[in-house]
Structure 1
């Protein structure tokens, strides 16, 4: 830990110096690009995302809290993408989620409100998980953005979701990071808040900068200016950048240092106190490790970002898309690109849009955004401005809430036992579980009371698409003992609610005081 603290101390000084140097020397105040080059980069971004997602597919969540060792083969061949399109199309949730928002912009224009994006997303036919599904439930039950993504309404608000869906925002704002963050503000708060939202802002910023610089180190560091320095997201990525400077030839050392400091999740009910980690900042760290240690080499970048583990399809998808934008479609190595040739005309599942479609649509949206911002377009030549990046506002999720205990319940609420009670001591809780029905999809209605408070209604759909991920949660309580009672109002045979765990929060962080004798 002492080496990491020294690394961080040196890093703060080095990052400041690096920022000044980059602003002065890396790129001019404007960059000229042809429309042909613009299209090539946008194609590279979308194709790179699909390639990376496909490559990481076989290892997704098979390596939790551990890297994927070098001796573990990761398969790739020219039919790999086609196999997933035909057999496991859900792998591409990274992409078809983006396309939902691209489609809304295409139908309603660049001024399409957040509500339009939210409703299109909530009513789409695809399955969702984590912050996305929690937001879908919120929207379908009248909680609209930005509250649908806020941590008080969404226990998954700091998960990876918008981070893996923000590619489109950077691709439609070439060189214009502040414009990309405006799009992120509108759409990212549908499902995320705080560090979860920052993941999308940061990824979009890297895509945007990939149009105006071919220096991946510059892109990684400059994009971080969009994130408030006070946030844990900023601090995590800054640590990775500086440890790369300290250990330039050893990505595994940087991985270890990052794991030691940043791998403890506090929000996601599926990951707290477990090895499963879908927290945005740690997975963003894996993207950055891949980009920095990949050194612009496409194969190394995908290999390293994948071998960091956890959500190992999403991280190379982002890294592959950002690097694909930097080098352009025409310069993605044929070894990788041959995998997408068979699928470029096939619509993604749950959409009416293919890669070839989004190449064209994405370029059109980028040109519309450039014209809206007054960018000079002279025939085939575009003069891209290089904006001074403005950090977004500071958002702190789960402020004053520290997970201290996970209490196992493991019981059913059903027609024989229509209620359950439990006690906890703290300032908040999340109750995990799910609803099931053997007599067709229904919405189970329950009521929850905390201590002597008035009952609150709980609606638990049994449909997988519209399900509520957790039974109940409540934060910002007085930090003391509490009693919770949940009652099923109209119990019916063939239906049940499975109650799993109570995740307990406190206003005081528990320090480990155990010492060996």
Structure 2
């Protein structure tokens, strides 16, 4: 496993996390529909466009059939057409989490998370478990009932994509990061949905000081119940990687073992994420490319993988082909943040770290 090192400035790692999350999200966004864009179909798309191995944003579709199947936002998310990030909930929640901590501090309550949603996030820009919780909030319900009432999405990936800010603001403190992520997650999720958020926050936190990707993955496992399906799935991917099984065969194996959970469920997506991180081995481009090629919730997985890899490598080591098209600008549905500077968001995140210390 390639050593990553710990000597990079904290500011460079925080900015790397933000850039990685946004770039990884943009990479996966055109093919975000795991029931249609399978691993095989994504690779067929890339072969037709002569884009394997994948080392940049997705190419434009090579034929009309693929063009119709892509997400409608694709013209603003493929290489050569990107001018700043597209709006996406995977980035909105990172911004919302930053705003939450700036407003309420690290002692925020789950109720204050819900209040922040109602004040700053449009209802129609929420999905699955978050939309169910939002509806429950407007009906006057309080947490944790907001997560359990008429919500069939409690173990889906939504809480995981909200966890980055807690990792970024708690560098090298995975348990503390996981505790804050849990406080956020229980507004809308239960069980493996909550564990996924805790795991992701701890993983990102550990990436600030971990000597290798594997060390960060192992550290993140310590914050969730060892007997949970999520923990067992992560350990399964780790064990397959240790046998030197190929990335393709590892994903085929865990795909069979998690069949039936659906393409937005936390458990199979964490399997894709873990495989992307381990086989990416600390290289930013390889990590986000393998993760997105893994399919399922491609933009969410690409965003989290990019966040981890960006923290590991630091912003300066993220290749310019990923950074330059973003033009230091992020689109967001969060009230008051559309058009924000990525650099400014990272600096505000760093100030929170400094205040905590």
Q: TM-score, normalised by structure 1?
A: 0.59
Residue 332 in structure 1 maps to residue 332 in structure 2: no
Number of aligned residue pairs: give it. 321
Structure 1 gap segments, 5+ residues each? 1-21, 266-270, 272-276, 372-517
Query: 2 CA distance for matches of 1:280 and 1:316?
Result: 14
Q: Structure 1 64/219 Cα, relative in aligned 2: closer, same or farther at 3 Å? A: farther
Q: 1:225 to 1:337 in 2, by over 3 A?
A: same
Equivalent-residue separation in structure 1 for 2:147 and 2:315 (angstroms): 34
Aligned counterpart in structure 1 of residue 17 of structure 2, from 45, 63, 75: 45
Q: Aligned in 2, Cα 1:81/1:165: closer, same or farther, shift over 3 Å? A: farther
What is the alpha-carbon distance in structure 2 between the residues aligned to residue 170 and residue 41 of structure 1? 11
Cα RMSD of the aligned pairs, angstroms, is 2.2
Q: Secondary structure at the match of 1:349?
A: coil
1:305 counterpart residue number: 291
Residues 53-111 of structure 1, C-alpha deviations (whole Å, 9 max, x = no match): 001111110554831453422324354253x53xxx2xx21111222221122122222
Structure 1 distance, partners of 2:170, 2:325, is 27
Task: Kindly indicate whether structure 1 or structure 2 has the higher relative contact order, using CA contacts under 8 Å at least 6 residues apart.
Answer: 2
Greater helix proportion: 2
The structure 1 residue matched to 2:347, chosen from 360, 366, 369, is 360
Q: Who wins on radius of gyration, i.e. which is larger?
A: 1
Q: What does 1:159-238 align with in structure 2 at a 5 Å threshold?
A: 159-238=156-235
Partner of residue 67, structure 1: 39
Q: Write the distance in 2 (CA, Å) between the matches of 1:206 and 1:215.
A: 12
| Structure 1 position 356, deviation (Å) | 2.5
| Structure-2 change in CA distance of 1:32 and 1:53 (3 Å) | closer
157 and 122 in structure 1: CA distance in 2 versus 1, 3 angstrom threshold: farther
Tell me the CA shift for residue 186 of structure 1: 1.3
Matched, 1:80 2:86: no
**Alpha-carbon distance in 1 for matches of 2:111, 2:226:** 30
1:247 aligns with 2:236: no
1:386-425 superposed matches below 5 A: none
Unaligned 5+ segments in structure 2 are: 47-57, 60-77
What is the match of residue 109 of structure 2? 113
Change in Cα spacing, 1:144 to 1:330, as seen in structure 2 (3 Å) is: same
User: In structure 1, what is the Cα distance between the partners aligned to 2:178 and 2:150?
Assistant: 23
- Aligned mate of 2:270, from 264, 270, 284: 284
The answer to whether structure 1 residue 96 and structure 2 residue 92 are counterparts is yes
Q: Aligned match of 1:295 in 265, 275, 281?
A: 281
1:364-419 Cα shifts (integer Å, max 9, x gaps): 112223x2xxxxxxxxxxxxxxxxxxxxxxxxxxxxxxxxxxxxxxxxxxxxxxxx
Tell me, what secondary structure is at the counterpart of 1:240?
Answer: helix
Distance 1:281 1:32, change over 3 A: closer
Q: Which residue of 2 aligns with 1:263?
A: 259
Residue correspondence of structure 1 range 142-157 to structure 2 within 5 A? 142-150=140-148, 153-157=150-154
What SS does the corresponding residue of 1:72 show, helix, strand or coil? helix
CA contact (8 A) 1:54 1:81 kept: no
SS at match of 1:330: helix
Confirm or deny: 8 A CA contact 1:64 1:309 kept in the other structure: no
Task: State the 1:308 CA deviation.
Answer: 1.2
The separation in 2 between residues aligned to 1:78 and 1:320, in whole angstroms, is: 20
Task: Tell me the CA shift for residue 44 of structure 1.
Answer: 0.4
1:228-251 deviation line (CA, Å, top 9, x unaligned): 111111111111111111234x11
Question: Residue by residue, what CA displacement relative to the aligned partner does 1:337-371 show, whole Å, maximum 9, x if unpaired?
Answer: 2122x2x24552333232223111111112223x2
Is 1:137 equivalent to 2:121 in the alignment? no
Q: Provide the C-alpha distance between the structure 2 equivalents of 1:278 and 1:327, rounded to a whole number of angstroms.
A: 28
Q: Distance in 2 between the 1:63 and 1:214 partners?
A: 36
Matched, 1:351 2:335: yes
C-alpha distance in 1 between matches for 2:104 and 2:219: 32
The C-alpha deviation readout for 1:204-227, integer Å capped at 9, x for no partner, is 111001110240111112211111
User: What is the TM-score normalised by the length of structure 2?
Assistant: 0.84
Distance 1:185 1:67, change over 3 A: same
Q: How does 1:449-488 map to 2 (within 5 A)?
A: none
Q: Distance in 2 between matches of 1:289 and 1:140?
A: 39
The whole-number CA distance in structure 1 between the counterparts of 2:230 and 2:278 is 17
1:346 to 1:184, Cα distance in 2 relative to 1, 3 A: closer
What corresponds to 1:321 in structure 2? Answer: 307
